[in-house]
Structure 1
């Protein structure tokens, strides 16, 4: 039952996260309350952080059911992947304005900010998501628990949808500049596959 509740919590978190990031919702709210919308990003961030912390607290009460037998090699690989994930996530924040990202700038949700294509963003379009995946995979290898597998599986199911809707918003915001960026930089892994002749 605890595992099912954890799955439902992640489904609710990711659904609300995507709905609140929706361009349509933001445009609707901006038409209704233009003055208040300058704090929308801050509300969105606070909501996400509080909900995410709630999920972390809930995870503490999951039964410790192993799904793979632990080994020093798996643990070592897990720690390495999780560390790489933290580095990638940190590097992705290094290139952006944190006050804007967290909504502390008092600008609207669609306020104009220059498209960032330098640093880690010159290698992948979504380094923060890639960092999260590596952290969750690393945690899964170290823990070997059903709970860690649930966290990873829910993230893996959500990411294609999250990236799709985020890129839709970015295309609307940056237009042809983002389209060119999409063509030259891969979304997730910094590997370009050559197209066959």
Structure 2
């Protein structure tokens, strides 16, 4: 790993592995009705509506953060981005990915999928911690101050930083 690598090793593998295994697990759970008992109590239209809202938020976080981070260059930024979505939450792209998983869980009501999601969340938290340690090394006190001001996972409605 070079000093410029900010991602945890094998991250790309896990970005493929988790969605594939999660989709397979939830699909099998729904097909065989292993742990989807909540479907009896929650109408499908409610699950689809709420899941759709989560999916919309997920794609917003992913698209906006990707555009801000990489733009047309596809290279990581050389400074801390504190404005726009990054002034509300430190890991908007990972949050968006996690919201996709949550949307599927809401739509399917898969309890087995929920248990698997807990493991996925813990792994994404580990990836975020790894990357944040790298950013602390790169940017020092400025990044530590940013960490104090901006939450890691739950977005704030107001940002301590002005938007550009």
Which TM-score applies when normalising by structure 1? 0.60
Which residue number corresponds to residue 174 of structure 1? Answer: 139
Equivalent-residue separation in structure 2 for 1:40 and 1:125 (angstroms) = 15
Runs of 4+ in 1 over 6 A off after TM superposition: 37-41
Deviations 1:18-68 (A, max 9, x none): xxxxxxxx3xxx4xxxxxx88997x95654455456536744763423142
Give the conservation status (yes or no) of the 8 Å contact 1:121–1:127.
yes
Distance 1:83 1:170, change over 3 A: same
Q: 1:68 aligns with which of 22, 33, 38?
A: 38
Q: With a CA cutoff of 8 Å and minimum separation of 6, indicate the structure with the bigger relative contact order.
A: 2
**Which structure 2 residue ranges, 5 or more long, are not aligned?**
158-164
Moved more, 58-67 or 129-138: 58-67
2:79 aligns with one of 97, 114, 134: 114
The 8 Å contact of residues 124 and 187 in structure 1, kept in 2 or not, is answered as yes
Query: Which of 114, 126, 129 is the matching residue for 1:149?
Result: 114
Between the aligned partners of 1:173 and 1:143, the Cα distance in structure 2 is 42
Map Cα deviations across residues 133-185 of structure 1 (whole Å, 9 max, x no partner).
22222111101124532442222332433332221111012112211211222
CA pair 131-152 structure 1, distance change in 2 beyond 3 A: same
For the Cα contact (< 8 Å) 1:89–1:132, is it kept in 2? yes
| Residue number among 23, 37, 57 corresponding to 1:84 in the alignment | 57
Given that residues 77 and 141 in structure 1 are in contact (C-alpha distance below 8 angstroms), is that contact kept between their aligned partners in structure 2?
Answer: yes
Number of aligned residue pairs: give it.
Answer: 147
**3-state SS of paired residue (2:50):** helix
Q: TM-score, normalised by structure 2?
A: 0.70
Q: Are the equivalent residues in 2 in contact too, given 1:62–1:147 (CA < 8 A)? A: no
- SS of the counterpart of 2:153? coil
